[in-house]
Amino acid sequence: MASLGRAERWFAARGWRPFEFQREVWSAYLAGESGLIHAATGTGKTYAAWWGPLLEWAAEHPEEILDLDAPAPKGRNARRAAAAPLRVLWVTPLRALAADTEEALRAPLVSSGIPWTLESRTGDTTPAQRARQGRRLPTALVTTPESLSLLLSRGDAPELFADLRLVVVDEWHELLGTKRGVQMELALARLRALRRGVRTWGLSATIGNLDEAAEALLGVGERAMPARIVRGVEPKEVVVDSLIPPVVERFPWAGHLGTQMLPQVVAAIEEGDSAIVFTNTRSQTEIWYQAILAARPDWAGRIALHHGSLDRRQREWVEQGLRTGELRCVVATSSLDLGVDFSPVDRVLQIGSPKGVARLLQRAGRSGHRPGATSRVTCVPTNVLELVEVAAARDGIGMGAIESRPLVERPLDVLVQHVVTVALGGGFRPNELLAEVRSTRAYADLRDDEWRWTLDFVTNGGEALRGYPEYSRVVTEADGGRWIVDDAGVARRHRQSIGTIVSDAQIAVQYLRGGALGSVEESFIARLKPGDRFTFAGRPLEFVRVRDMKAWVRKAPNVKGAIPRWMGSRLPLSRTLAERLRARLDEASRGIFRDAEMQAVRPVLEVQAKWSRIPRADELLIERVKSREGFHLFVFPFEGRLVHEGLAALLAYRIARLRPITFSLAANDWGIELLAPEEAPLEDALAAGLLAPTNLVEDVPASLNATEMAKRQFREIARVSGLVFPGLPRSGKTARQLQVSSGLFFDVLQRYDPRNLLLTQAHREVLERQLESSRLGRTLERLAAARVVVTTPKRTPPLAFPLLVDRARERVSSETLAERIGKMQLALERAAG
Amino acid sequence: MSDERISVRGEELVLLPERAAYWPARTTLLVADAHFGKAATFRAAAIPVPAGTTDATLGRLDALVDRTGATRVVFLGDFLHAREGRAPATIRALAEWRGRRAALRVTLVRGNHDRHAGDPPRELAIECVDAPAIEGPFAFVHHPAALPEGYAIAGHLHPAATLVGRGRQAERLPCFWFGAGCAVLPAFGEFTGMASVEPSAGDRVFVIADDRVIEVR
- pLDDT for the residue A502: 47
Of A195, A731, A675, the closest CA to residue A493 belongs to: A731
- How much is the pLDDT for A250? 55
Lowest mean per-residue pLDDT among A258-267, A763-772, B101-110: A763-772
Question: In chain B, which residues have their Cβ closer than 8 Å to the Cβ of A677?
Answer: 165-167, 169
- Output the pLDDT for position B138: 97
Q: Would the pLDDT of A307 be above 60?
A: yes
> Going by DSSP bridges, is the β-strand pair A516-521/B151-154 parallel, antiparallel, or unpaired?
unpaired
Is pLDDT at A243 greater than 50 in this prediction? Answer: yes
Going from the C-alpha of A309 to that of each of A125, A199, A318, the distances in angstroms are 16, 33, 14
Helices (H), A113-224: 127-135, 145-152, 157-160, 172-175, 179-194, 210-218
Q: Where are the domains of chain B?
A: 4-216
Q: Do B200 and A472 touch (CB under 8 A)?
A: no
Compute the average pLDDT of residues A351-368: 86
Average pLDDT over residues A46-55: 95
The ipTM assigned to this model is: 0.88
Strands (E), A735-796: 787-791
What contacts A62, CB < 8 A, 6 or more positions away? none
**pLDDT-derived band at A730, boundaries 50, 70, 90:** very low
CA angle A167, A169, A172 (to 5 degrees): 155
pLDDT at site A523: 63
How close does chain A come to B42, measured CA to CA in Å? 6
Residue that wins the pLDDT comparison between A145 and A124: A145
Name the nearest CA neighbour of A785 among A635, A620, A669.
A620
The rounded distance, in Å, linking the Cα atoms of B190 and A745 is 11
d(CA A331, CA A692): 46
Q: What is the pLDDT of residues A79-119, one digit of tens each?
A: 556 788 999 999 988 776 777 788 889 999 988 889 999 99
Mean pLDDT to the nearest integer, A673-695:
93
Looking at every residue in chain A, the average pLDDT score rounds to 84
Q: Is pLDDT at A634 greater than 90 in this prediction?
A: yes
Q: Pick the range with the lowest mean pLDDT from A460-464, A611-615, A707-711, A801-805.
A: A460-464
Highest-confidence segment of A267-281, A511-525, A728-742: A267-281
Instruction: Report the residue from A630, A737, A821 with minimal CB separation from B41.
Output: A737
Query: Residue A517 and residue A307: Cα distance in Å, rounded?
Result: 12
- Per residue in A810-820, pLDDT (tens digit) is 778 878 888 88
Hey, what long-range contacts does A750-756 have (CB within 8 A, 24 or more apart)? A751/B52, A751/B56, A752/A464, A752/B50, A752/B51, A752/B52, A752/B53, A752/B56, A753/A462, A753/A463, A753/A464, A753/B50, A755/A463, A756/A462, A756/A463, A756/A464, A756/B50
What is the mean predicted confidence (pLDDT) over A396-418? 88
Which residue out of B42, B53, B92, B205 would a mutagenesis test of the A interface target, given it has the greatest number of A Cβ atoms within 10 Å?
B42
Chain-chain contact of B43 with A733 (C-beta, under 8 angstroms): no
CA distance B152 to chain A (A): 21
Residue B215 confidence class, pLDDT cut points 50, 70, 90 = very high
Q: Which amino acid is at A98?
A: A
Superfamily for the A5-231 domain: P-loop containing nucleotide triphosphate hydrolases (3.40.50.300)
Q: B154 versus B193: which is more confidently predicted?
A: B154
Q: Which of A190, A186, A184, A222 is nearest to A202 (CA)?
A: A184
Please state the rounded mean pLDDT for residues A520-529: 70
Contact B165 A827 (CB under 8 A): no
User: Could you tell me the pLDDT band of residue A49, with boundaries at 50, 70 and 90?
Assistant: very high
Q: Does domain B4-216 have CATH number 3.60.21?
A: yes
Q: Residue A832's pLDDT is what?
A: 31
Of the two residues A421 and A323, the one the predictor is more confident about is A421
Whether residue A191 contacts residue A223, with contact meaning beta carbons closer than 8 Å, is answered with: no
Please identify, in words, the CATH class of the domain defined by A238-399.
alpha beta
Most confident residue range from A525-534, A769-778, B113-122: B113-122
Residue A505 CA to residue A527 CA, distance in Å, equals: 14
B47-74 average pLDDT score: 93
Domain-wise residue ranges, chain A: 5-231, 238-399, 413-498, 506-555, 613-821
Mean pLDDT over A155-184 rounds to 92
CA-CA distance, A350 to A361, in Å (whole number)? Answer: 11
Taking alpha carbons only, the member of A152, A93, A84 closest to residue A117 is: A84
Residue A713's alpha-carbon distances to A318, A747, A771, in angstroms, are: 35, 13, 11
Question: What does the pLDDT read at residue B50?
Answer: 85
Q: Exposure string (b/e) for A50-84, b if CB count within 10 Å is 16 or more?
A: bbbbbbbbbeeeeeeeeeeeeeeeeeeeeeeeebb
Across the interface, of B165, B192, B200, the residue whose CB is closest to A823 is B165
- Give the CA count within 13 Å in the CB-facing half-sphere of A290: 20
pTM here?
Answer: 0.81
pLDDT at position A728, please?
44
